[in-house]
Amino acid sequence: MVNLKTSIAGIPLESYFFNASGPKCMTLEELLALAASNSAVVMSKSSTFEPREGNPEPRYCNLEFGSINSMGLPNLGYKKYAEFAPLLKVQTTKPYFVSVSGLKLAENMEMLKYLSEIKDIDALELNLSCPNVIGKPQICYDFDQTREVLREIEKVAKKPLGLKLPPYFDFVHFEEAASIINKHNIAFVTCINSVGNALFIDPEKEVVVIKPKGGFGGLGGAYIKPIALANVRKFRELLRKEIQVIGVGGVDTGVDAFEFLLCGADAVQVGTTFQKEGVKCFARLETELKAYMFQKGYDDISDVKGKLKTL
C-alpha cells in the first residue's frame, strides 16, 4: 500500500493533493464540496478586505494545454471566509486554509490579525503574486517591498503562514527572494502562481479569448509545469529546511505530481485541472500517483521527495 500522507506546517494531511486558491473555492457550497472530496485541505479563495466582483467577463478560458484567466480576485471578503470556518469543521476534520490577498499592506495586516484569532482556521496563505488585478503590481517582484511586507505581517500573523509566490526566472532573483524569506517566520511557500500577462488568440475569429486588460491574463496548466518545477526545485535548495515547499502549476496526472515530488515538494495544489474536472480530480490523481509509485517500487512519498538526479 503506497502512503501519500504528508504534513504542512505540522498539520497532518491525508493526501499529497489539495486545491489551489482560485477555482471553485469562493462560496460555502464550493468549500463544502471540497470538504467532501479527496482534497487533503480545504483552501479558500484569495480574500480581500471588501467583497469583490472581479474583472469583467469573459475572464477565464480553457486552452488545449491549460488555461488563461484575468479573474481580478472575485471573492466574498475575508470576514465571510472566517464565518465559514466553524461551518466547515462541522462537516470535516480536514484542515482549512484561508488565502489572503489584500490590495494594501494595511489590509493584509488587518486581515491576518483577524483571521489568526479564528480557532477553526488552521493556516493562512498570503498571496503576494496575483498578476491579474489591474493597476496593482506583484509585490514579490519588488524585493524592497517584499522585505517591508514580511517584516510587518510577521507582527500580526499568529497562525502558520505561507506565501504564494510568482514564477521567478533568474537565479539571482531566486537567491534574493530566498534570502528575504529565510529571515522570517514563514511556514511554507507555494510555487507558483500563474505566469502573468500571457496572450492567447483565436486565429479564426482574430480575437483574444478573455476581456480584461485587452486579453492579457495569467497562464496556467501544462504550459507552465516546467517553470513550476524549476521554482520548486530551486526554492527547495535555497530555503531553510524548516520552510516547506508546495508545488502548483500543471498537475494534471499522477506522473506530474511525481515530478514535483522528485523536486522536493511537500504537497501539490491543483488549479486548472480542478477547474476543468471538478472535485473528482483529487481521487483520480491519488490513484494515478499511487499506481506510478507502486510500479517503481516506492512505498512512501519520503522515498522519493527531493531525490531528483542530475547528469
pLDDT at 130 over 90: no
The amino acid at residue 78 is Y
pLDDT at 133 over 90: no
**Buried/exposed code over 90-99 (b: 16+ C-beta within 10 A; e: otherwise):** eebebbbbbb
DSSP string across 25-37 = -SSHHHHHHHHTS
Is 25 marked active-site? no
The pLDDT tens digits for 260-310 are 999 999 999 999 999 999 999 999 999 999 999 999 999 999 999 999 999
The pLDDT tens digits for 168-186 are 999 999 999 999 999 999 9
The pLDDT tens digits for 13-70 are 999 999 999 999 999 999 999 999 999 999 999 999 999 999 999 999 999 999 999 9
Q: Given pLDDT bands bounded at 50, 70 and 90, which one contains residue 120?
A: very high
CA distance 40 to 2: 16
248: CB partners within 8 A, 6+ apart = 20, 190, 191, 192, 193, 228, 268, 269, 270, 271
Q: Which of 25, 61, 130, 263 is catalytic?
A: 130
Measure Cα distances from 8 to 5, 96, 146, 148, 249 in Å: 10, 12, 23, 25, 18
Cβ(162)–Cβ(9) below 8 Å: yes
Residue whose C-alpha cell is 508546495: 246
pLDDT at 153: 96
pLDDT at 280: 98
pLDDT at 137: 75
The rounded percent of the chain whose pLDDT value lies above 90 is: 96
DSSP state of 65: T
Phi–psi pair at 230, nearest 5 degrees:
-65, -40
The amino acid at residue 310 is T
Q: Given pLDDT bands bounded at 50, 70 and 90, which one contains residue 233?
A: very high
pLDDT at 134: 74
With 0-12 / 13-18 / 19 or more C-beta atoms within 10 angstroms meaning exposed / middle / buried, residue 256 is: buried
Q: Does domain 6-54+73-196+222-303 have CATH number 3.10.20.740?
A: no
Question: pTM of the entire structure?
Answer: 0.98
Work out the end-to-end distance of the chain between its first and last CA atoms, rounded to an integer number of angstroms: 31
pLDDT at 135: 72
Q: Given pLDDT bands bounded at 50, 70 and 90, which one contains residue 84?
A: very high
Q: Given pLDDT bands bounded at 50, 70 and 90, which one contains residue 136?
A: confident
